[in-house]
Amino acid sequence: MECISGSEVEDRGHWGSKVEFLLAVAGNVVGLGNVWRFPYLCYKNGGGAFLVPYLVFVATCGVPLFLLETTIGQYTQEGGITCWRKLCPLAEGIGHGGQLILFYSCMTYIIILSWSLFYLAFSFSSQLPWASCSNYWNTDNCVDFSARSNTSEWINQTNSTSAATEFWERRVLAISAGIEEIGSIRWDVLLCLIVMWIICYFCIWKGVKSTGKVVYFTATFPYVMMLILLIRGLSLPGALQGVVFYLLPEPSRLTDPQVWMEAGAQIFFSFSVGVGSLTVLGSYNNYNNNCYKDSLWLCLLNSVTSVVAGFAVFSVLGFMAQEQGVHIDEVAESGPGLAFIAYPQAVAMMPLPQIWSICFFVMLILLGLDTQFVVLEVVMTSVTDMFPSVMRRAGRRECFLLLFCLICFVSQLVMITEGGMYVFQLFDYYACNGTCILFLSVFETLALGWVFGAERLYAIIKDMTGVHANPYFKICWLYLTPLVSLGSFTCSLVQYQPLTFNRWYVYPDWAYILGWVLALSSILLVPGCALYRLGTETGTLSQRFHHLCQSSPDCSLTQEREVELQHMREEALHQFIPN
């Protein structure tokens, strides 16, 4: 039977239809990383050969964790924190750590959306401002590629910068010399940020009732834009060159540990695992929804979208390289550099550049909006489920959501100053990085696979869906996923490189200390919460440990199946309980 916690579960609500759930999850997992990170990583780390470590992490971590988190959400009907109180109270810190990472993500992700809206507004200009050097922010070193036919002259100018780069650095960011020089707020970017927060607020202020309706547009329309850009990109001269560079296999790169680490980090980010997002989205499903089949199809959609986005991006970069007469190495970028320098520069060189610029930034905004308001919904649900008697009264959710948005907004104002890009990179590199998520994933699989029980998870999937899951997932939950996650976490620490900006700016020591405080703030919640719970329980250490490893009595299968699994679960617990 379904986990029950009184009348609150009935008031909690469900998705209006299965389609709403599928679109919400698709909108969450298919985001900016598919467009601006995966294609570059594929090109940089061996082209087609990169698909080998990518698929290894998909099979050992991505899909198993995706299914695991969706399953426990649907089973417990609880958010990212309270689900642990029902399954394994000792591991509640995993939920708190995941929500803290999402809080940091709320602060950084919407900054990207405000930049995208800024570019979208300028895309309606009669001449794209990043297509010429005749603007007040341009310097004498500015080069207008769309107007210059003699690219060799540019190649010989080592101090030259493109018009797109100057627009990004001098007009949008007005970037200072370092994090020590914060400077003033960029008021036009602030206006864009306010607009994006208002949109996000009204997308989710009524919970799944409003979120479920919004995703019909925000999760589907980006695919229309991506298809348009793909067709346009493949029709450009030089597109084939770009696609070849994107997928050209370099098997020798497979011996580089960095390639495998980057493949793992991409999987954890793009599949949105480890932070409780899928748990919350799954918790609004009906108990008998076939989450097993849904998870497999959604994982496939995510990976296919990443590959297709690579064709759309690199076909355009190939065109750009041919037009400039340079190697694609010099135009291929990742992250903000792709979205706000390379791609805008490329569309400025096309006929009817405004149309392609509008398509691109509309796609970016919708991809990011989906992820942003799902992250907000996850945090809201997790907090609401912790205090149901307070938060589920009329108007309380809307007020708390407004307060949370205002806290995020005020906290991120420093990121839209002249030195804000340095702060943004600091949060992105340390607070929201893959190392923290890997740490949470290790303990998530240990808690659910060994303490709660992999056999029990199998029985839950069968009880909910009527389908027997592939035995391979049991092997993953018990062995492969925790081992691969732990190995990746260890390698990320061993291979750690201090953050730099644009390969030349080195942060001051106090900034690195702040970065590590941000990273450790989510990691230390796992042992911290466990020690707190052990310290506040009654009884001997063994009794406390045993009690905190027990799931809630109202989370049970049919009595016959529960009795059948009890012996298996006790054997697993004996490996963890002290004598």
Q: To 10 degrees, what angle do helices 525-536 and 509-523 make?
A: 50
- In whole angstroms, give the CA distance from residue 569 to residue 453: 6
251, 274, 327, 454, 549 from 446: Cα distances, Å: 34, 13, 47, 10, 12
Backbone angles phi, psi at 76, to 5 degrees: -85, -25
**Residue 534 corresponds to which amino acid?**
L
30 annotated to bind ligand? yes
152 annotated to bind ligand? no
Query: What are the helix (H) ranges across 180-338?
Result: 187-204, 208-218, 221-234, 239-247, 257-270, 277-283, 291-324, 336-337
Contact 529, 96 (CB under 8 A): yes
Neighbours of 502 (CB within 10 A): 10
Two tokens, residue 235 = 């029709």
CA angle, residues 118, 119, 125, in degrees to nearest 5:
110
**Residue 571 corresponds to which amino acid?**
E
- In whole angstroms, give the CA distance from residue 298 to residue 378: 18
378 annotated to bind ligand? no
- In whole angstroms, give the CA distance from residue 519 to residue 498: 13
Q: Which letter, b or e, does each residue of 14-51 get, where b requires 16 or more Cβ atoms within 10 Å of its Cβ?
A: bbeeeebbbbbbbbbbbbbbbbbbbbbbbbbbbbebbb
- In whole angstroms, give the CA distance from residue 125 to residue 473: 53
What is the three-class DSSP state of 506? strand
Two tokens, residue 333 = 């970028």
Q: Which residues contact 191 (CB under 8 A, 6 or more apart)?
A: none
- In whole angstroms, give the CA distance from residue 520 to residue 513: 11
Backbone angles phi, psi at 37, to 5 degrees: -115, -50
27 annotated to bind ligand? yes
Please provide the size of the chain in residues. 579
370 annotated to bind ligand? yes
Q: To 10 degrees, what angle do helices 291-324 and 221-234 make?
A: 30
357 annotated to bind ligand? no
385 annotated to bind ligand? no
What is the three-class DSSP state of 182? coil
By DSSP bridging, strand 161-162 and strand 142-143 are parallel
Q: Which residues contact 154 (CB under 8 A, 6 or more apart)?
A: 143, 145, 148, 160, 324
Q: Which residues contact 356 (CB under 8 A, 6 or more apart)?
A: 229, 232, 347, 350
CA 112 to chain centre: 13
Binding residues: 27, 30, 34, 270, 302, 367, 370
Binding positions for Na(+) are 27, 30, 34, 270, 302, 367, 370
